[in-house]
Amino acid sequence: YNIFRQAKIRVDMDITSDTVSYKVRKAIKEKLPYFGVIGKKEIQNNTISLRKRGEKRDIEMKIDDVISLIQKN
């Protein structure tokens, strides 16, 4: 969270007890340009499971690569 804020990227965290699938559907409905999921696996690998609006698949990316991608667009 903080690394994105330092890069001047607007982020929001959903730490509610809702299921991940519900949170994904909510993000799709809100038409967010990108949304990511960070779980135990992603924390261990220092990655984010990222999905771009309109895409059906998630891509696991390093955090620095995600920041570069978002800043480029």
d(CA 65, CA 67): 5
For the stretch 8-65, pLDDT in tens is 998 989 999 999 899 989 988 998 889 998 889 999 999 999 999 999 899 999 999 9
Which residues make beta-bridge pairs with 36? 50
SS3 state of residue 22 = helix
User: 49, 58 in Cβ contact below 8 A?
Assistant: yes
Q: Is the pLDDT of residue 2 over 80?
A: yes
d(CA 32, CA 66): 15
User: Does the pTM of the predicted model rise above 0.85?
Assistant: no
Taking CB atoms within 8 Å and a gap of at least 24, the contacts of 59-66 are 63/3, 66/34, 66/36
| Predicted local distance difference test score (pLDDT) of residue 22 | 93
